[in-house]
Structure 1
Amino acid sequence: MSGHNKWSTIKQKKGKNDAARAKIFTKIGRELIVAVRDGGSADPAANSKLRDCIAKAKANNVPNENIERIIKKAAGESGGANYEAVTYEGYGPSGIAVIVEALTDNRNRTAGDVRHYFDKFGGNMGTPGCVSFMFEQKGVLVLDKEDNEVEEDKLMEDALEAGAADFEADEDIYTVYTEPSDMGAVRDDLTAKGYTFASAEVEMVPSTYTKIDDPDVQVKMQKLLDMLEDNDDVQNVWHNWEMPETPDED
Structure 2
Amino acid sequence: MGRVFEKRKHKMFARFDRMAKAFSRIGKDIAIAVKHGGPLPENNPKLRMCIQNARGVNMPKDRVDAAIRRASSKEEKDFQEVVYEGYAPHGVPIVVECATDNPTRTVANIRLAFSKNGGAMGNSGSVAFMFERKGVFKFEPSKLNLDEYELDLIDAGAEDIERGDEDTIVYTKFTEFGHMAKFLESKGLEAKSSELQYVPTTTKELPEDQQDEVLKCVEALEADDDVQNVYHNLA
Secondary structure in 1 matching 2:148: helix
Secondary structure in 2 matching 1:17: helix
Which TM-score applies when normalising by structure 1? 0.79
Residues 55-101 of structure 1: CA deviation (Å, up to 9, x unaligned): 222212111221112112211x2243222221100011121111001
User: Following superposition of structure 1 onto structure 2, how do residues 127-142 of structure 1 map, counting pairs within 5 Å?
Assistant: 127-142=123-138
Alignment pair present for 1:82 and 2:78: yes
Q: Which moved more, 1:218-227 or 1:196-205?
A: 196-205
Alignment pair present for 1:96 and 2:92: yes
Q: Which moved more, 1:84-93 or 1:192-201?
A: 192-201
Q: What is the identity percentage for the equivalent residue pairs of Structure 1 and Structure 2?
A: 36
Alignment pair present for 1:221 and 2:217: no
User: Following superposition of structure 1 onto structure 2, how do residues 1-250 of structure 1 map, counting pairs within 5 Å?
Assistant: 17-39=15-37, 41-75=38-72, 77-145=73-141, 147-148=142-143, 150=145, 152-161=146-155, 163-172=156-165, 173-187=167-181, 189-190=183-184, 193=187, 195-213=189-207, 215-242=208-235
State the Cα distance separating 1:118 from its structure 2 match.
1.1
Amino acid at match of 1:22: A
Residues 159-209 of structure 1: CA deviation (Å, up to 9, x unaligned): 124x12323234424321223354355245336646443432111111111
Secondary structure in 2 matching 1:31: helix
Distance 1:143 1:183 in 2: 15
Secondary structure in 2 matching 1:167: strand
Secondary structure in 2 matching 1:115: helix
Which TM-score applies when normalising by structure 2? 0.84
Count of residue pairs brought into register by the alignment: 222
State the Cα distance separating 1:33 from its structure 2 match.
0.8
Larger helix fraction of residues = 2
CA RMSD in angstroms comes to 2.3
State the Cα distance separating 1:102 from its structure 2 match.
0.6
Aligned residues of 1:104 and 1:110 also touching (Cα < 8 A): yes
Secondary structure in 1 matching 2:161: strand
Secondary structure in 1 matching 2:126: coil
Unaligned runs of 5+ in 2: 1-12
Aligned residues of 1:52 and 1:184 also touching (Cα < 8 A): no
Aligned residues of 1:164 and 1:176 also touching (Cα < 8 A): no
Q: Which moved more, 1:188-197 or 1:57-66?
A: 188-197
Aligned residues of 1:89 and 1:129 also touching (Cα < 8 A): yes
Distance 1:101 1:149 in 2: 29
Aligned residues of 1:48 and 1:184 also touching (Cα < 8 A): no
Aligned residues of 1:101 and 1:236 also touching (Cα < 8 A): yes
